[in-house]
Amino acid sequence: MNYDLIVIGSGPGGYVAAIRASQLGMKVAVVERESLGGICLNWGCIPTKALLKSAQVFEYISHSSDYGITVEGAKADFDNIIKRSRGVADGMSKGIQFLFRKNKITVLNGNGKLVRGKKVEVTDAGGSRMEYSANNIILATGARAKELPNLKIDGKKIIGYREAMNLTKQPKRMVVVGAGAIGVEFAYFYHAIGTEVTVVEFLEQGLVPREDADISKELAKHFKKSGIKVMANTAVESVATTGKTLKVKVKNRKDGKEEEIDCDVVLSAAGVTPNTENIGLEALGIITDRGMVKVDEFYHTNVAGIYAIGDIIPGPALAHVASAEGIICVENIAGKSPSPLDYNNIPGCTYCSPEIASVGYTEQAAKDAGYELKIGKFPFTASGKAKAAGTPEGFVKVIFDAKYGEFLGAHFIGANVTEMIAEVVAARKLETTGHEIIKTVHPHPTMSEAVMEAAAAAYGEVIHL
């Protein structure tokens, strides 16, 4: 019952940490109360992308005449769209089972809780308890949908992201509260298959408020054109759930104007809350700050041998961040001397349509940091590949330090741009300059040419504008 490492949680942080530890020769166990893969594989990253792909395919079919193809009688089958999404998630979870068997990782089914003496108590579904000891323990318990004081999730009329991807009936009208990645992805999905959608965002910038302002404006333009109503700088005052329909009372934070919206369901997409309750933090004296576990650059807590990664520590709540943290944490435990993670070079992706991808400084953040900037933009309307594909929406925006040419940031919006951002992440990791990007030959015709062209635009050398 003694292990070199026990990981509590099998999401993209936990399972990756466990596999890397096994590769490094450790005897590993993972505690999981639900399905392997955590929220990401089962209720987040993967199944939502399956839903979004169905929406995209339906949009292609609905606009097939734009491509010279006639299709009649197409309709979105909500039940089968949901069924396909769940099937994709189940398949990925089974893939983690295979990887655990391959790497000889023990799975301990149940709720994990820290107890003194570097031990983990696991309570199974029947209430039976067992204790396991380990030289090192990693907490990777993830997060859940955040509840607002006046927006309590009941799972039926007011729902979170888990319920949103597993509804038994497609709503005719939906209000999405929160315009971050989760909110805009579900807004796009439901609108694309025929639901009337209103997005309510508390912050003034509106859609994707943490992105560069130009990205937010471009997405707002596209959402408005497609028929999605967006209410920025607006607070939800109350939700009445007693009638046949829900009555959502909202208030504009600028002029105080109130409005009531009728809908069938409200999706709360106002962020996430870390799962740090009932895992034994207090008993061991592990320090937290507003629910987040405090760690050093290698994810060590203030208690020897106890580590924490992913959504329960400060930083971006992203699957790829949790995975990177897990690998660094384990390699440090194994004495491999890894480099700390550079949190200023983390890509962010939003998979609505058009897609959004970004890394590094926004224009405003770079100005606030005191940089003198060179900024280049290249619209996909000038891209041969984008025009041929029928997806000319959006642009690439790149930001360089005018003094040294440092690649400060990049912001993409358009079709498939989430597949393009890694070029910039690698370039920034290698300390590539703007002129080096310009002189890097990009294949033609591709969407990725826009990165080269945008860099050239920043230095007054753009060819195709």
Whether 219 has a pLDDT exceeding 90, the answer reads: yes
Tell me, what's the pLDDT at 1? 79
122 pLDDT tier (thresholds 50, 70, 90):
very high
Tokens 């339906």 sit on residue: 58
Tell me, what's the pLDDT at 405? 95
User: pLDDT tens digits for 388-424?
Assistant: 999 999 999 999 999 999 999 999 999 999 999 999 9
Active site residues: 444
With beta carbons less than 8 A apart as the criterion, state whether 7 and 28 touch: yes
Whether 149 has a pLDDT exceeding 90, the answer reads: no
Tell me, what's the pLDDT at 147? 86
Tell me, what's the pLDDT at 332? 98
Tell me, what's the pLDDT at 53? 97
Whether 271 has a pLDDT exceeding 90, the answer reads: no
Tell me, what's the pLDDT at 443? 97
Tell me, what's the pLDDT at 136? 98
Single-letter residue type at 268: S
Mean of per-residue pLDDT scores for the chain: 96
Single-letter residue type at 291: G
Tell me, what's the pLDDT at 148? 87
Tell me, what's the pLDDT at 243? 87
What is the pLDDT averaged over residues 73-95? 95
